[in-house]
Amino acid sequence: MGALRPRTRLLRVRVGVIGAGAVGGTLAALLAKAGHDLTVTARGAAVAAIEADGIALSGAWGDHIGRVVAVPRLVGPVDLALVATKAADAAAAVTASAPALSGIPVVIVQNGLDGPETAAALLPGSRVLGGLALFAASLLAPGQVRVGTPGPLYVGPTSGDDEVVRLLAAAIPTVAAPDFAGMQWSKLVVNMVNALPAITGLSVQEVVADSRLRRVLTRSIQETVRVGRAGGVHFGRMNGLSDPLLRLVADLPGPLADGLPRLMARRMGAVPNPGSTLQSIRRGQPTEIDALNGAVVRRAADLGLAAPVNRALVALVHEVEESGRFLPADTVVRRVFP
């Protein structure tokens, strides 16, 4: 069930990428560069733009035009599919393309905690894996993607000799994640950098450089780790993070714990990183905040705990979504720590 078809194993395969945003566009361009046949789904005018000009990839992994077929939904046969939509759109996108996804491996490249399980329930005849993109990419325009910071794609739960991992690794830096749940929680920690840029309009690096905002970010990370720890999570090793380090940071006083956001910002390099949530705000699109900080709030509630910092950040992002106005740092701090 859900294996690559024998004639296509590790050769030129037909790959479908659902979602042609920053992450999906990057994956599609790199897989096309590796010689695979790519079909991507997009919305509205983006379908014609990508069909005509391909996907232009620039930045940390060089410049390349990925020649792809663009469609509103997958209908033709594919051997492997990657779902790279926003979390809130994933179920509808999978359902719309379900006939094309039946019986093949499907990798849900998505933030949050519930994506693979939700897709598996919709695709009982397919092998569903999770994916976590650690590269930072920005969608400049339909079919134009820039990678600011390179990073691997984690796929799991699976091993390094898995055929899906080997196929992807030939095109994209890919790491097998046997304990995918632990990696999801570590990525959730990484994604704590998203809320404050969306609220303030600043880059991640600018947020971390501001001592007031850095304090808020640190508290959101500590809260996330404490909730995960209470739920029995063993955090995966990712981007310099590890279970022992995160457990230590969760219990450190603020000034010492601030070192972790500084480390995360340094690893991003000098290119300003807006974060995916701010990119959504700028495009006037719904954000993923409910799948990021909101996931911490929900999991805390399940455990009978509170997550006041993450709850406040979710509310502030939704406020900016509705008003279209960013908030100054002093206002953010007062709202998070009343």
Structural domain span for residue 223: 184-336
User: Same domain for 33 and 165?
Assistant: yes
Does 322 share its domain with 241? yes
Same domain assignment for residues 234 and 208: yes
State whether 117 and 234 are in the same domain: no
Q: Tell me: do 69 and 152 sit in the same domain.
A: yes
Q: Which of 12, 39, 44 is nearest to 28 (CA)?
A: 39
Report how far apart the first and last C-alpha atoms of the chain are (Å, whole number): 53
Considering 120, 153, 178, which residue would you say is the last residue of a domain?
178
Q: Is residue 97, in this structure, part of any structural domain at all?
A: yes
- Tell me whether residue 124 is in a domain: yes
Q: What is the CATH number of the domain that holds 233?
A: 1.10.1040.10
1 domain-assigned: no
Same domain, 279 and 245: yes
Q: Does one domain contain both 170 and 207?
A: no
Would you give per-residue pLDDT tens digits along the chain (338 residues)? Answer: 566 755 455 578 999 999 999 999 999 999 999 999 999 999 899 999 999 999 999 999 999 999 999 999 998 799 999 999 988 899 999 999 999 999 999 999 999 999 999 999 999 999 999 999 999 899 999 999 999 889 999 999 998 889 999 999 999 999 999 999 999 999 999 999 999 999 999 999 999 999 999 999 999 999 999 999 999 999 999 988 999 999 999 999 988 999 999 998 988 888 888 888 999 999 898 999 999 999 999 999 999 999 999 999 999 999 999 999 999 999 999 999 98
Closest CA to 40 of 97, 86, 88, 87: 97
Task: Cite the beta strand spans of 45-115 per DSSP E.
Answer: 55-59, 64-66, 69-71, 80-83, 105-109
- The pLDDT value given to residue 268: 84
CA distances for 188 relative to 194, 262, 284, angstroms: 10, 17, 23
Task: Give the per-residue pLDDT at 115.
Answer: 92
Peptide bond into 6 cis (omega under 30): no
Reported pTM: 0.91
User: Across 150-230, where does the E strand assignment appear?
Assistant: 153-156, 174-176
How far apart (Å, rounded) are the C-alpha atoms in residues 305 and 221?
15
In a domain, 12, yes or no: yes
The pLDDT of residue 269: 82
Helix axes 329-336, 211-230, angle to 10 degrees: 30
Residue 47 sits in the same domain as residue 146: yes
Query: 268 with 165, same domain?
Result: no
Length of the chain: 338
Residue 118 lies in a domain: yes
Q: In this predicted structure, what is the pLDDT of residue 246?
A: 97
Return the pLDDT at 10: 56
- CA proximity to 150, closest of 253, 24, 62: 62
Domain co-membership, 217 together with 238:
yes
Residue 267 confidence (pLDDT): 84
- The domain that holds 81 is classified in CATH as 3.40.50.720
Q: What pLDDT is stored for residue 206 in this prediction? A: 97
Instruction: Clarify whether residues 48 and 161 are in a common domain.
Output: yes
Q: Of 134, 150, 178, which closes a domain?
A: 178
Question: Do residues 148 and 213 both lie within one domain?
Answer: no
Q: pLDDT at position 7, please?
A: 45
Q: DSSP H helical segments within 102-194, as ranges?
A: 115-122, 163-169, 180-190
Tell me which of 124, 154, 178 is where a domain ends. 178
Cα–Cα distance between 230 and 303 in angstroms, integer?
8
Give residue 171's Cα distance to chain centre.
19
- Domains contained in the chain, number: 2
